[in-house]
Amino acid sequence: MKRYQYALLVVGTTFLMGVAFPIGGIGMRYASPLLLMSLRFLVAGVLMAAFVAAARRRQPNGLKQWLRLLVIGCCQTAGAMGFAYYAMQWITSGEAAILTFTNPLLVIVLSTLLLGARYRIAQWFGVVLGLLGVAVTFGSNLSLEPGMIIGFMSAVSFAAATLFVRRWGSGFDTWVMTAYQMLLGGLVLLAASALLEKPHFTLAWTSVMVVLGLAVFCSIVQFSCWYYLLGIGDPGKTSSYLFLAPMFGVLSGWALLGEKLEWYVGAGALLICAGIYLVNRPRITASVNSQ
C-alpha cells in the first residue's frame, strides 16, 4: 500500500473513532444513552455475525470461548462505550472522548500492577504526560463529579478489554471475536438500560440515521479498517496514531454540537496525545554490521 493511502486510512479510521462521540451526543436527544449504545452494537453485531457466518469464518468453540467473548464484550462494548456515553449526561462529548482514549496509558499501569510487565522510561513519561493532560483539560472543573468518574471508568474498561484481547485473542478469528463481543456487549447494555435508566427512544429520521451511522460506520467500518491497518503494518507504529482520536473527538464536538473549545481543553488534549504517542511509539533499534 502506498504511503498516502495508508495515511488516509489511518486518518479516516481515527476520525470515525472520535466523531462517534458527538454523533452519539446528537442521538441522546432522542434516546437514553445506554439504550442508544445497545441499539448501536446490536445492529453492528447482528450484521457482522451474519457476515462471518456467511463467510464460514471459524466460530467459537465451547463454553470457555463464549465466556471469554462475554467478558471482552462486557469490557470493550458495554463497559467502555456504555460508561463513555452515560458520562455525557454531565460532561461534553469532547471531554468523554479525551477520558476514554487515555486507555493506552492505563494499559501500562494495569499491565505493571497485574501482570508484572516492564516498560521503557519513555513510556512511563508518556503516562505521566497523559495524566497531566487530563488535569489540564478539566482545569478548575477537575473533581469527583459523576461525569468524571464514569468517564474515567470508560478508560479503565477499555484498558481491561485490551489486556483480555492480548491474552485470549489468538484463540479467535479476529472478525468473529469482533462480531460476537459487540453482539454480547449490546445485550448487556440492553439489560443495563432496563435496570439503570428510564429507557426511551424517539423514532425519527435523525435518530434512525444516528443508530445506523454509529453501527455501520463507527463500528463495522471502523473496526474493519483498524484491524486491516494492524494486519498490513507494524502494530506498534499503527497504534501510535491513536493519539488522533481524542483530537477528532474534541474538534467534531465543537463542529457538530457547538461545544466550547477552551484553550486549556486543547492544551490538555495535546498533552494526552503526546503521552499516547510515547506509550505506543515502537522502540528504535539500530542495526550494526559486524566486520
Residues 187-200, mean pLDDT to the nearest whole number? 96
Most confident of 123-127, 219-223, 236-240: 219-223
Selection from 1-10, 38-47, 129-138 with the highest mean pLDDT? 38-47
Query: Is the pLDDT reported for residue 253 higher than 50?
Result: yes
pLDDT at 141: 57
Q: Are residues 134 and 272 in contact, defined by beta-carbon separation less than 8 angstroms?
A: yes
Query: Which of 177, 183, 193 minimizes the C-alpha distance to 42?
Result: 183
pLDDT cut 70: percent of the chain above it: 90
pTM for this model (two decimals):
0.86
Instruction: Using the predicted structure, report yes or no on whether residue 120 has a pLDDT greater than 90.
Output: no
The whole-number average pLDDT for the span 26-40 is 97
> Residue 216: what pLDDT?
95
The arithmetic mean of pLDDT across residues 41-61, rounded, is 95
Q: Which region among 168-172, 177-181, 280-284 has the lowest average model confidence (pLDDT)? A: 280-284
End-to-end CA distance of the chain: 35
3-class secondary structure, 60: coil
Residue 208 pLDDT: 96
138 is written with which cell numbers?
478539566
Cα separation, 233 vs 231, in Å, equals 6
Plot region of 274 (φ>0 → left; ψ -120 to 50 → alpha; else → beta): alpha
Q: What is the pLDDT of residues 63-111, one digit of tens each?
A: 999 999 999 999 999 999 999 999 999 988 988 988 888 887 788 888 8
Question: 209: which DSSP letter?
Answer: H
Could you tell me the three cell numbers for 198?
428510564
